Amino acid sequence: MSTPAPVALVTGSARRIGATIARMLHAAGYDLALHYRTPGAELDALLAELEQARPGSTLTLQADLNDLAGTTALVPATLARFGRIDALVNNASSFYPTPLGEIGEAQFDDLVATNARAPLFLAQAAAPALRAAKGVIINLVDIYAERPIPRYLPYCMAKAALVALTHGLARELGPEVRVNAIAPGNILWSTNPEKAETLAMVEERTALKRPGEPGDIASAVLYLLRDARYVTGQVLRVDGGRWLHI
């Protein structure tokens, strides 16, 4: 009898870094529960690609992470399909400027909900299955969680909370479940015009003098899931040395 494939629930998996993480985990043998907020051509292409490679290996799940009931429903839906959860990758994130003096309640609630509240309640819902599987949680944080940048205070606060959640969950869920975080640097050019950076700026501010690639983050996810068996409660910076220049 064949051993069942490990199962990963990945939030925000339809595009950008999330889609790259999904592709790498799938190639490594994981079945995937792919969360998305809004359907589109990128999600359709990803699903077709993965299903062609290994039919029956994916499940797509729609949820707005501001909706707590819809968010926590991702876990039982994944268990109903695959019967297990070996990894939870909290990748989904909201990111936009909120200048001090103009911060509104709705913006604050959205940034905290997607970047901190959803990962907490997903981890809580998935904890029994992760304990049974001796699984792993990985949270995508930010190098600015410890040193906030101007005009993004609620976002940085929420990512700082996610770092604290990483540390707390590592204690709460050990020894069965390992919990770590990844803090990306300049990986993809921002779609936010207020955060636009030129290649020259990245080269000046990064020790490796170049931006990273989504595959750098996906490789770090796979390392923490599969190889880092004595690592928990850590934040791995994948930033080319950007941290050194903040």
Instruction: Assign 3-class secondary structure to 187-227.
Output: CCCCCCHHHCCCHHHHHHHCCCCCCCCHHHHHHHHHHHHHH
Q: What is the distance of C-alpha 191 from the center of its chain?
A: 18
Domain contains 2: no
109's enclosing H/E stretch is: helix 105-112
Query: Considering the entire predicted model, what is its pTM?
Result: 0.94
Contact in structure between 155 and 198 (CB atoms under 8 Å): no
Burial of 24 (0-12, 13-18, 19+ CB in 10 A): middle
Contact by Cβ (8 Å): 25, 221: yes
Residue 155 annotated as catalytic:
yes
Within a domain: 89: yes
Instruction: At 38, give phi and psi (nearest 5°).
Output: -125, 125
Is residue 230 a part of any domain in this protein? yes
Beta carbons within 10 angstroms of residue 94's beta carbon = 18
Q: What are the E-state strand segments in the chain?
A: 7-10, 31-36, 58-62, 87-90, 136-140, 178-184, 235-238
Q: Is residue 222 part of a domain?
A: yes
Determine how many CB atoms are found less than 10 A away from the CB of residue 81: 15
132: CATH: 3.40.50.720
- 105-112 vs 153-173: helix crossing angle, rounded to 10: 30
Choosing from 36, 144, 152, 155, the catalytic residue is 155
Q: Which domain holds residue 203?
A: 7-245
Amino acid 192: pLDDT: 46
CA 2 to chain centre: 30
Position 1 in a domain: no
How many domains is the chain partitioned into structurally? 1
Is 83 inside a domain boundary?
yes
pLDDT tens string for the chain (246 positions)?
578 999 999 999 999 999 999 999 999 999 999 999 999 999 999 999 999 999 999 999 999 999 999 999 999 999 999 999 999 999 999 999 999 999 999 999 999 999 999 999 999 999 999 999 999 999 999 999 998 999 999 999 999 999 999 999 999 999 999 999 999 988 875 554 444 556 677 778 889 988 899 999 999 999 999 999 999 999 999 999 888 876
pLDDT number for residue 211 = 86
